[in-house]
Structure 1
Amino acid sequence: MTASPTSLTPNTSFRRLRGQRSAAEFAALVRRAAREIGETVSCDARYIGRVESGEIRCPNYAYERVFLHMFPGHTLADLGFSPREAVRGRDRDRGRDRRAFMAGGSATVAAATLNLGLLGDGRRVPAGRPGAAEAAAVEDAVRRIRLLDDRHGADGLYRRATEPLRTAYALLDAGATRQSTEDRLHKGAGELALSVGWLAHDSARFDDARSHYAEALATARVSGDAGLEAHAFANTAFLARDAGRPREAVRAAQAGLRAARSTGSARLMSLLHLREANGWAGLADRKACEEALGRAHTEFAKGPSAEDPEWMSFFGEAELESLESRCWSALGDHGRAARHARRAADLQDPHFARNVALYTAELAGDLARAGAPDEAAWAAGRVLDHLGEVRSARIRTMLQGTSAALVPHQRSPRVTAFLHRHART
C-alpha cells in the first residue's frame, strides 16, 4: 500500500505526533504498544520515515490496530492516512512479495524474497536504466535483511543475501536516470554490502566479511558519502577485533571517527569510540581503553538526533553496555564485564532476539570466568533456549568457550545439567 515515488505527499499529521522523539525512539514505542495488545510489528526508523514521507499511504491492519491503540480517539484520517479503499490495488506485485516475506516463517524462506529482479538463471540484466523504483527495492532489501538478522541471526541467510547484492551493483553499473537516484543506489548498494558482510561476519566467514566491507568502503569513497564510509570503518573495526587484529581495529575506528565528524551524529561518534576502546583492550592498553570509553559515554550522553543513521537503530543503552563489557572482558576484569553484560541483557528490547541471545551469552562467559559457575550455567541455559530461533556461529562459539570454562565445576548439578544439554545440541 505505497504511493508512486513521484507522487508522495508527506504525512505531516503523523510527523507532529512523533514530536521531539527520534524516528528510532518512536519506532520502539510502536513496538511496545504492539506487545501491549498482542500484535507483532517489525517497526524501525525506516518504517517511520516511509510513513512520514507519504510512501505508506495507509498502514496494514496490524499497524492500524497499534496506531489506534497508541492514539485513542483518533481515526486513521486523523493520523494523516488515506482511506484503505483509495490505495487498495496499487503495487499488487510488491504487496504479494511482502506478504510472502512476512508469512514465510523462516529465515531461508524469507531470504528468498530479497529479489531485485533476478532472472531464473541467476543473470542480472536490469531492464533499461534504473530509476526510483529500483533504488527503493535496494533500500527495502537492506531493511529486510536487518529485520531477519535481528530475529534469526545470520546462519542460513548469508548465501541467499549475496544475490540481491550482486543485483544492486548491476543496477549501479547500468547508470541511473537521475543523479539523485544514482546517489540513492550508491548508498543503498553500500549499505547492502555492509549488511551482507555482517551476515558473513556473524557466521564466522571472516574473509567474506572483509571483502564485503571493503566493497562498501570503496562505494562510499566513490560517492563521497561520509556516513557510509564511517559505517564501513565501524564494521571493519569490529571484524578486526573479532579476527584477533586489535591494532587494525584501533586504526579502522579512528578512520571512522574522522569520517563521522561531518555527519553531526553523536551516537555514531559514540559507537566508533567504543570500537576504538575494544581495539585498545585487545592490545591490553587499559589507559587508552578507558579514555576511549570516556569519549564514548560523553557522545552517547548527547542523546539521539535527526542526523543519526537509520542503521543505528540497534545502538541504544543495551549495546553501549555490551560493548563496554567486552572491553573489560578483554582486559581480564570479568567481574566488571559481567555487571555490564547483565545490564545489557536486562535492557535489551526483546524484539532484537539475536541481541538478547548475544548479550546473555556474553554474561554467561564472564560469569564462568569470574568464579560464578552456577549463575553462568543458568545464563548459558537461557542462551540455549534462544538457539531454536536464533542461528549465529558467533553465539555458538561463545557458548563453547563457556562450556569449556565450566568443565572444572561439574560437581555442581546446575553446571552438569547445562553441560549435558549443551552436548546434545
Structure 2
Amino acid sequence: MASSSVPSSQPARPPRPNLAFRRLRGSRSPAEFAAAVRRAAREIGERVSCDARYVHRVEAGEIRCPNYAYERVFLHMFPGRTLTDLGFAPRSSVRGRRTGAAGGRPENPADATSETSGACEPYETHDRYDTYDEYDPHDHEESDVLRRAFMTGGATVAAAALGPYGLVPEAPAAQRPVRRAGSTDACALEEAVRRIRVLDDRHGADGLYRRAAAPLRAAYELLNAGAVRQRTADRLYAGAGELAISVGWLAHDSGRFDDARSHYAEALATARVTGDPALEAHAFCNTAFLARDAGRPREAVRAAQAAQRAARPLGSPRLMSLLALREAGGWAGLADRAGCEQALVRAQAYFDRGPAEADPEWMTFYGEAELEGLEAQCWSTLGDWPRAARHARRAAELQNPHFTRNLALYTAELADDLARGGRPDEAAQAGMRALDLLSDVQSSRVRSMLSGTSRVLLPHRRTSGVSEFLDRHASLPRMV
C-alpha cells in the first residue's frame, strides 16, 4: 500500500483544460466515449472503470497524467500517438520522478511538489473480485482505492450547489467559490439522494440517469473541498456513497451495466475508506443484484454473502432478509435449487421479525410485495413457472401504487411467467396491464422483459388477446 501521507498545500494554479483529448472525443458524448474506452480495454485484456465523470475530469485537466492501465488503453485506441499527443503531461513531471532515476520510480515520493501531488488518476480501475496473473505495483500506487481522490486538494475544488431535486448541472469551475462544506451542503446532498429515489420509484431510470451525473460530480467535489466539522464530513461521505449507489441503480435499471458496476465500486470504495458498514452492505447488495442480472451468479452469491457479513452488526432484520434474497437469486442462477431454497427460508424468517429502527432509509421499497417479487424471480430462473407466476401475481396485488416502476416490473414478470408456463391468454392480459404502466415508467429492464414475453407468445398469435398485445408491444417507440 502506498504511503497515505499527502501534501496539505493547494496547487499554485488551476488545471489547464485538455483540449487535445476533447478533440479526440469528437461528437461522442462523455458516456459514449467512456463506453468506447471500456471496449478498447477489453480488447487488450485491461480492466478499467471508465465513466462519463472520468472523461469530464480528464478534459477539465484534473487528471494531468493517467495511470498505467489507462495509458495502455489510450495508446491502443490512438496508435502512433504519445501521452503528450493526447494532451497529458509527461509522467515524470507529475510523479516527482527525476530523469534517469532507476526504474523510473521517484527518488523520494515525499519530495513531490504540491503542484504535482494527486495529479494522476487516483481511482481504482480494476475489478476487486478478480485476480490477475500480472501485478504492476505502479498501477496499485496510482489507484489506491479513492484515498487520494478524497484527501488531496485542487485549485478548482468547490462546493457546487445541488438544485431542489439534485439534478441541476454544476456551474463552470471558474464560477464556483472555493470554500469548505458545511451542514447545509450535507443536507442538500442527502435531499438529492431522496429526490432521485422518489423519481425513480415513480418513473423509472431511463430518463434520470444522465441528469443524475451532475450532482454526483458535485458530491465528490464537496468531499474534496473538506468539511468544517467531522460530523459534517461523515454525512458527506455517507451521502456521496449513497448517491453513487443511486446513480448506479439508474444505470443498472436502464441497461448500462458497465456504468452501474463502476458506480457501485465507487460506493464500495467510499465505504471501505470511511469504515461505514451500512454503506458497504448497501453497495454489496446492489453489486449482487447487478451480478445476477449480468449473468454472473457466482459473483452475486459472493457479493450477497459479503453484504450479510457487513450488515449483521447493524441490527436490521429486514436488511438481512433482502440480502438473503440477493443470495437466493445467485443460487438460482447457478441452478442450485437447494441453496436457493435455504436462502429463501432465511429471507422469510428475517422478514417475519418485522421492521426495526435500524432499518436503512433506502429500504422504503422493501415490503411484502418486493419479497414476493424477488422470490418469483428465483423460481422463474429455476424454471418453475407456475410457482413463479403465483408469487409474481401476489407481488403485483400487494404493491403500493406509489412504486409505479415496481408495479410495472412485477406485472411484466407475471406476464412472462404465464407465457412460459403455457398460459398465453392470461400472459397477454398481464402484458397489456404492464404496457399501460409504461406510459408513466421509463425502464429498459421492464421493456426487455416484455420483449422476451412477446417472443414467447409469437407462436400463439391466434389465441385470444395475444395478437392485440403483440401489436401494441410492436408499436412501442424505441428508446433513445
Under a length normalisation based on structure 2, what TM-score does the superposition of the two structures give? 0.64
Give 2:263's aligned residue: 212
Q: Which residue of 2 aligns with 1:118?
A: 170
2:147 aligns to what? none
Note closer, same or farther for the CA distance 1:354–1:131 as it changes in structure 2 (3 Å cut).
same
What are the Cα deviations for residues 237-279 of structure 1, in whole angstroms up to 9, with x where unaligned? Answer: 0000000000000000000000001111001100000000000
Aligned to 1:166: 217
Superposition deviation, residue 118 in structure 1: 2.1
Q: Which residue pairs with 1:400 in the alignment? A: 451
Task: Give the superposition deviation at 1:127.
Answer: 3.6
Q: For 1:404, give the aligned amino acid.
A: R
After the TM superposition, which residues 297-376 of structure 1 pair with which residues of structure 2 at under 5 Å, given as runs? 297-376=348-427
- The 2-side partners of 1:175 and 1:423 are apart by 52
- Match in the other structure for 1:235: 286
- Does 2:232 correspond to 1:181? yes
Report Cα offsets for 1:86-128 as digits up to 9, x if no partner.
xxxxxxxx9xx64xx6xxxxxxxxxxx524x821x37794541
Residue 144 of structure 1 is matched in structure 2 by 195
- Please tell me whether residue 278 in structure 1 is matched to residue 329 in structure 2: yes
Write the letter of the residue equivalent to 2:436: D
Residue from 312, 318, 331 that aligns with 1:267: 318
CA–CA separation in structure 2 for the residues paired with 1:122 and 1:294: 53
Deviations along 1:318-353, one digit per CA (max 9) or x if unpaired, are 000000001100000010000000000000000111
Question: Separation in 2 of the partners of 1:408 and 1:283?
Answer: 29
Q: Does 1:253 align with 2:304?
A: yes
Give 1:61's aligned residue: none
Code of the aligned partner of 2:470:
L
SS in 2 for 1:413: coil
Shift of 1:156: 1.6
Q: Which runs of 5+ in 1 are unaligned?
A: 1-93, 102-112
State the 1:206 CA deviation.
Answer: 0.1
SS at match of 1:388: coil
**Distance across 2 between alignment mates of 1:414 and 1:216:** 46
Matched, 1:416 2:467: yes
Matched residues in 1 for 2:174 and 2:436: separation? 41
Report the Cα offset of residue 412 of structure 1: 1.0
Which whole-Å CA distance do the structure 2 matches of 1:126 and 1:275 have between them?
43
1:217–1:229 CA contact under 8 A, matched in 2? yes
Q: Does 1:388 align with 2:388?
A: no
Residues 328 and 337 of structure 1 are in contact (CA less than 8 Å); yes or no, is this contact kept in structure 2? yes
Query: Which one-letter code corresponds to 1:166 in the other structure?
Result: R
Larger-Rg structure = 2
Matched letter for residue 398 of structure 2: L
What whole-Å deviation, never above 9, does each CA across 1:45-79 have from its counterpart, x for those lacking one?
Answer: xxxxxxxxxxxxxxxxxxxxxxxxxxxxxxxxxxx
Rate the CA distance shift 1:326–1:122 in 2: closer, same or farther, 3 A.
Answer: farther
For 1:124 and 1:138, locate their aligned partners in 2 and report how far apart those are by CA, in whole Å: 20
Give yes or no for contact 1:124–1:167 (8 Å, CA) kept in 2: no
Structure with the larger helix share:
1
Q: Aligned partners of 2:426 and 2:176: how far apart in 1?
A: 55
Q: CA deviation at 1:408?
A: 1.1
- C-alpha distance in 2, partners of 1:199/1:126? 30
Q: Deviation digits for residues 354-383 of structure 1, max 9, x if unmatched?
A: 011011000000000111100100000011
Query: Are the aligned partners of 1:114 and 1:144 in contact in 2 as well (CA < 8 Å)?
Result: no
Q: Distance in 1 between matches of 2:182 and 2:273?
A: 20
- Separation in 2 of the partners of 1:410 and 1:138? 50
Provide the rounded CA distance (Å) in 1 between the counterparts of 2:314 and 2:173: 38
* Aligned-partner Cα distance in 2 for 1:210–1:401: 24
Q: How big is the shift at 1:411?
A: 1.2
Q: Which amino acid aligns with 1:259?
A: A
How far the C-alpha of 1:387 sits from its partner, in A, is 1.0
Amino acid in structure 1 at the alignment position of 2:332: A
Contact 1:126-1:174 within 8 A present in 2 as well: no
User: Does the 8 A contact of 1:124 with 1:170 survive in 2?
Assistant: no
Q: Which residue pairs with 2:186 in the alignment?
A: 135
The answer to whether the 8 Å contact 1:266/1:302 transfers is: yes
What letter corresponds to residue 114 of structure 1 in structure 2? L
Say if 1:126 and 1:150 are closer, same or farther in 2 by CA, change over 3 A: farther
Aligned positions of 1:65-104 closer than 5 A: 98=164
Aligned partners of 2:366, 2:432: CA distance in 1, in Å? Answer: 26
Matches within 5 A, 1:21-32: none
- Cα distance in 1 for partners of 2:187, 2:475 equals 44
Q: What letter matches 1:207 in structure 2?
A: D
In 1, distance between residues paired with 2:285 and 2:173? 32
For structure 2, the residue ranges without an aligned partner over 5 or more in a row are 1-160
- For residue 290 of structure 1, report the CA deviation from its aligned partner: 0.3
Mapped to 2, the partners of 1:409 and 1:118 lie a distance apart of 52
* Off by >3 Å, runs of 4+ in structure 1: 121-127
